[in-house]
Amino acid sequence: MDREVALPEMLDARERRAARQRELLAMYRLPLVSFTMNIPGPVKNGPLIRRGFRLGRRLLLEQLGRMGAECVFCAEQDEATGCEGLYVVDADPAALKELTCALEDGTDAGRLFDMDVLAPGGEKLDRAALRCCLLCGRPAKECARSRAHSLPELQSKTTEILNRALRRLDGGTAANLAVQALLYEVCVTPKPGLVDRANCGSHRDMDIFTFQRSAAGLWPYFFQCVQTGRDTAGQPPPETFAALRWPGKLAEGGMYAATGGVNTHKGAIFSMGLVCGALGRLERAAWRDPGRVLSETAAMTAGIAAQELSAPAGDGSQTAGQRFYRQYGVTGVRGQAEAGFPAVRDYGLPVLEQGLAQGRTADEAGAAALLAVLAHTDDTNMIARGGLDAQREAAARLAVLLDTEPYPSAGTLRELDRAFTARNLSPGGSADLLALCWMLHFLREEED
């Protein structure tokens, strides 16, 4: 597909498109939007161009929906001669032309969009203002006629425009889904010992609104993590992890400021930030593969459990994680990260997605995924509140429960909530991993 095309091929493609336009106009007697990409040079298609086209199509259809214009027919082609889309729309032609010009002139990749609007009679509507040159800002037709710029210059600028637009799109998409995943996690109800829509579980210093304030402030951090991953993608994976450390500390500070000193998302800042950094290192198509994403987080964090948990702080003090590592050999979230989050990959995510595929609600599937994670990991929050024995006893009982009731009823979950709360137990580490389950699920469903 990614090859040079000759002029006769382009002319043939143009004739076929014109014939199809005439056919659709005669069939529907409605305006038609014809969308192609302005790509200089003999290579008219490829992975980057294809993604640019999909971005333009998405923006067009979203804006048609916003203005209440029904797209009654669409046909798209992906050929060596380029990507093409034909959209029959029940709307005023002038309003459509105003919309397409706004998309061409007012979006990151819009300069490369060629969105013609044809009235029902077949006449092509003209732009109110001439399009500008990619490079110098003068009228594009003048520069094209005089060949003011070399082909390599134009191709380089085209690539720059596409890369910039898609980088921003990808960062925003990942950040949106990360925040959405945190909000889904806290909203799953009932959750044993945890804050949810019904109560505050074993916590007295936070509620669901505290979590919402915290999550809302983390969008810029997640966006930055993706960009950091992109910027360091050519370096060894641990370099990306190292580059994420300071942004993570800044995000923690912002979290504490938003919550009045309450730790709502410290674990999620670590684990979700890792995943966002991994996404930045990967090609967009790999985002739908949870195994690939989690393998990248493992490569980024190789060896951190022993390295960070065996060394005390400079003042000789120990964190709770270091104490648990020395006393019990428990590696916590660091061990999960460098192993590729097996509790998520092998237990939580499959349970979540199987439940949703069976038609279970987000509450039912999410709660079951949480318990599956908790049954297969050493949750350091549970250990801190009740000790190792209490944590492992709870995990063993949950494993037995899930064997007989893979998706526990609301009544069973409420009883677990009462039991956990009575013992002041809170599986906060498992809740962070549940958020990762949601994130990976959302990524699998997201169009690129």
Q: Is residue 160 part of a domain?
A: no
Same domain, 143 and 227: no
CATH, residue 130: 3.30.70.260
Same domain, 224 and 350: yes
In the chain, what are the helix, strand and coil shares in percent, each to the nearest 5?
A: 65, 10, 30
Same domain, 126 and 185: no
Q: Is residue 90 part of a domain?
A: yes
Q: How many domains does the chain have?
A: 2
Rounded Cα gap, residues 323 and 330, in angstroms:
9
Same domain, 205 and 338: yes
Which residue range is the domain that position 249 belongs to? 168-445
Same domain, 354 and 221: yes
Q: Is residue 349 part of a domain?
A: yes
Long-range CB pairs of 195-200 (<8 Å, 24+ gap) are: 198/417, 199/417, 199/421
**DSSP helix/strand/coil, 36:** strand
Please give the C-alpha separations between residue 179 and each of 70, 215, 275, in angstroms, as whole numbers.
31, 6, 13
Please give the C-alpha separations between residue 439 and each of 38, 250, 340, 435, in angstroms, as whole numbers.
35, 22, 15, 6
Smallest CA-to-CA distance from 297 within 268, 266, 272 is with 272
pLDDT in tens, the chain (448 residues): 578 999 999 999 999 999 999 999 999 999 999 999 999 999 999 999 999 999 999 999 999 999 999 999 999 999 999 999 999 999 999 999 999 999 999 999 999 999 999 999 999 999 988 888 888 888 888 888 888 899 999 999 999 999 999 999 999 999 999 999 999 999 999 999 999 999 999 999 999 999 999 999 999 999 999 999 999 999 999 999 999 999 999 999 999 999 999 999 999 999 999 999 999 999 999 999 999 999 999 999 999 988 888 876 555 567 788 888 888 888 899 999 999 999 999 999 999 999 999 999 999 999 999 999 999 999 999 999 999 999 999 999 999 999 999 999 999 999 999 999 999 999 999 999 999 999 999 999 998 7
Q: Is residue 159 part of a domain?
A: no
Rounded Cα gap, residues 121 and 22, in angstroms:
9
Q: Is residue 158 part of a domain?
A: no
Same domain, 88 and 179: no
Same domain, 48 and 21: yes
Say if CB 175 and CB 424 are below 8 A apart: no
Same domain, 382 and 297: yes
Same domain, 117 and 46: yes
Same domain, 262 and 322: yes
Same domain, 216 and 311: yes
Q: Is residue 157 part of a domain?
A: no
Same domain, 395 and 248: yes
